[in-house]
Every structure is written in structure tokens, then in C-alpha cells.
Amino acid sequence: MSWGVDQDGNLRRLRVDEEGRLLIGCYLPAWETPVQSLEDLPIDDPIGTVRVVLDEPALYLKSDTGWEKIGASDFLSLIDTPDKYEEQGGKVLRVKATEDGIEFIDIETGATVFIGLNDVPSSYEEQGGKYLRVKATEDGIEFADVETGASAFIELSDVPSTYEGHGGKYLRVNTTEDGLEFATVEGGGGGGEPSYLTDDFGGM
């Protein structure tokens, strides 16, 4: 059985009788004084009378079969809401994915620890002493060893990689002008000190 209101403000009741026939009743509501309980509903009210029962609270209509509750008396009685509160403690309401009602769900909380995020490492194991850096793919963060600088001159990227075979040589910029190299100083004649020392300063 269901109730509705037509364009004229009349209450209409649809119900199926024992023989499977659909019956439609039409009632012009006549609002009367609320009563405290169901027992207080007058039996001699005319058909179409509407009263509020305060104990519930709910609306009741006097139909041809007697007093009938119309509409929902509480949240759970609505047709598009959950039908019980049991086992729903602490949950919140949201519109269903089917967009045809409301449901109780657990609150979707965010991560409570760093490794619970979806774009970071999932574990700290075997990562001691490492640092965080953005991935080369630029879509997250990863643990990585610190890339330290060179600890010796020949470990630099733009200098000779060995001292072997270069004893007594000096450093100069290479001819391609993109690094340093070892080279023999071209002196002015005779042994001893390089010419850039003897010629400019008189051998001092």
C-alpha cells in the first residue's frame, strides 16, 4: 500500500486487495487536533480526517477501513534510506553510487603514516641512512643513497682519470675547452725552471 497527493491536494491510497485487484482511494484531508496516542484517535471521525499522533509522532488518516498511518514517521521509514541503525555506529551518510538513495558508510580517512600514502615507498626495511628524492619518472618519491661529490681530484668528471705517466707535468685547459689535462710545459731553452718563470722575472 502507498500514499500520494494529487494535483488537487487530495490524498490518494493505492492498495491491492485479497483478490489481487488494485484499489485507489481518494480522500480530501480534514486536519483536526492532534492526539497523544493511537488509543486517542476518535472512532467517529469522518473519512478523510487527518490527525497527528504525538507519541510516535506520525500522521494518521481516517479511511474507509479505519485509521491508517500515512507518510514516514522516522528516518528509517523513508523509502530511500537505510532500514536499520544496528551495526552502523560511527558511520556517516552518503548518496549511493546508483544515485537512488542514501546509505551508511565508514568514513574514508586519509593515511595515518607516511608509507601509507600511494606515491611513496611502502616500507622502511633496508632503507636506513637513505634520503628521499623524486623519481626519474616524476610520479612519486623514492628512497635513494646520497650522491656524494668526489673525494679525490682524478674522480672529477672533467679532469684526467689517472696520475700514472704524468709525473712532473702541469695542468692546462684542453684544446676542446671542456676540461683539464696534464701537459709538459714548453720551456724557453735549457733545463731547469719553466720559461714562464725565468723570462718574466729575470730568473728570480
pLDDT recorded at residue 107: 84
Tens digit of each residue's pLDDT (9 = 90 or more) over 52-74? 888 887 788 888 889 988 766 67
Task: Please tell me the distance from the alpha carbon of residue 64 to that of residue 25, in angstroms, as a whole number.
Answer: 9
Predicted TM-score of the model (pTM): 0.34
- Judged against a pLDDT cut of 80, whether residue 7 lies above it is answered with no
Domain ranges of the chain: 2-73, 75-109, 114-144, 153-201
State yes or no: pLDDT of 22 exceeds 70.
Answer: no
Contacts of residue 90, Cβ cutoff 8 Å, sequence gap at least 6: 106, 107
For residue range 101-141, list pLDDT tens digits in order.
999 999 877 788 899 899 999 999 999 999 999 999 999 99
Look at residue 55 in the predicted model and tell me its pLDDT: 86
